[in-house]
Structure formats: C-alpha cells, structure tokens
Chains A and B, each alone.
Chain A
Amino acid sequence: GNSVTQMEGPVTLSEEAFLTINCTYTATGYPSLFWYVQYPGEGLQLLLKATKADDKGSNKGFEATYRKETTSFHLEKGSVQVSDSAVYFCALSDRTGANSKLTFGKGITLSVRP
C-alpha cells in the first residue's frame, strides 16, 4: 500500500536558519504530494502541493520538488521565522473511487528560537 515517511523530530532552529524536512513516499500509482502545516490550536492547512513529477510547489518562502526518481518531496525554506513554529505533515493523495484520500506521514514539530 501507499506510505509516507518523514524524518524524526522535533527540530529546533534559530531564526533565519535554513530548514530542510525530509519526506519520502511509496506509492503504486501517480500520486499528488502535499505539505500540510498545523499551527498550535488550529487544524491542518495546505502549505504547498505538486501534482506531477518535477513540479515544484511553493508558498510563504517554503518549497518542495516532486522527485519521482528518489520518491521524495523534501520541504525547504531558506530563512525560517519564529512564526513558522508548527507541526509539518507530508502527505500523498491517490484516487479511490469517486474521491481521493490522503496518506500522511507522522508529522514533525518545528520550533524556531528568536
């Protein structure tokens, strides 16, 4: 079946540091890939997505490229801010009947120090 693996956390960085959060996936078809973010006390929000190989998703300074050859979708940001402190989830979507369902990684907590 499909699965998503994220690097172990938590991650603590100083403000303006470079961020990489690794995500790899296993899928039988041609999934779309997503990063969702959960700020404290809130639900999951879409951060970015990519729907086919070599696509790059980007939003709020975050980027991730859909790498089919390495089955990866690593999240990067050049300079993190305190406001980026949250839980980050990598996910893939595959089609099942009329709907698609998301398969999530375990999530990783990012804390950014001033």
Chain B
Amino acid sequence: EPEVTQTPSHQVTQMGQEVILRCVPISNHLYFYWYRQILGQKVEFLVSFYNNEISEKSEIFDDQFSVERPDGSNFTLKIRSTKLEDSAMYFCASSEYGGTGETQYFGPGTRLLVL
C-alpha cells in the first residue's frame, strides 16, 4: 500500500541553525500539508500546498518557515533559523483531492529537537 515517507526520523540541531525536513507524498496525490505536535499538545496545522503554491498557512508559519516541491516527488519544510520552541514532531500529509471529506495520509513524522 502506498505510504507517505519522511526523513530524517530524528534531527537534533543548535538554535539558529537551518533545518530541512523532507517528505515523499503518495505519488498520485496533489495536495500536501505540514502539521506539527509539540510534546503534550495538539497536532497543529502549519501549511497546505497545491499546484506549487501555498493554499493556506497558520499563524505559526511565519517568515522563518518555507515549503517547496523541488521535484516531482519531494515536499520539503525549511526552518531558516530554529528556535527552542520549534522542538516538536513534524508530520507531512498528502491527499488525492482537496475536499473536506478527503482522507489525508500522514507520514511517520520527524522529531526535531532544538538545543
């Protein structure tokens, strides 16, 4: 069964460093998402992406964050200058269509720790 994959599974970085989290969505999916979960808190929406542009972004997704689909398979989240509060589990998701009833398929997540 097709699945969303994410790399790396864990990343430790120093505050102020740039990180790139990578995702490979399901191949025929056109809609892409990033969510994050700070330990003990809710899973929060960060950004949605379709047709090579951002559809919506949350208040969390400030100028330090960017997303890109550099080729036909990868979808990346870049944090330009990490802060301690960026430590979280980051989930990538994809869906075939964008409707409210569509299932979003999630990757296993990347656990980011900022020291």
B55 at the A interface (CB under 8 A): yes
With both beta carbons as reference points, the residue of chain A lying nearest to B32 in the complex is identified as A99
Q: How many Å lie between the Cα of A42 and that of B42 in the bound state?
A: 17
State the main secondary structure of chain A at its contact with B: strand
Given the interface contacts A102-B35, A105-B42, does A97 sit within 8 Å of B101 by beta carbon? no
Interface SS, B side: strand
- Give the distance in Å from the alpha carbon of A34 to the alpha carbon of B107 in the complex: 17
User: Would you give the 0/1 interface string for B89-108, flagging 1 where the beta carbon is closer than 8 Å to chain A?
Assistant: 00101010011111111111
Asked if A103 meets B45 with Cβ closer than 8 Å, knowing A32-B101, A93-B100, the reply is yes
- Interface band, chain B: 20 to 34
Q: Report yes or no: B98 in contact with A100, Cβ–Cβ below 8 A.
A: yes
Question: Chain A 77-95, CB within 8 Å of chain B: the 1/0 string?
Answer: 0000000000001010111
Q: Say yes or no: B48 contacts A44, CB within 8 Å.
A: no
| Also in contact, A43 and B107, with CB within 8 A (given A102-B45, A106-B42) | yes
- Given A43-B91, A43-B107, A44-B91, are A100 and B43 neighbors across the interface (CB < 8 Å)? no
Q: Given the known A-B contacts A43-B108, A49-B103, are A101 and B4 also in contact in the complex, defined by CB atoms under 8 Å?
A: no
CA distance in complex: A32, B104 (Å):
12
Residues of A within 8 A of B65 (CB): none
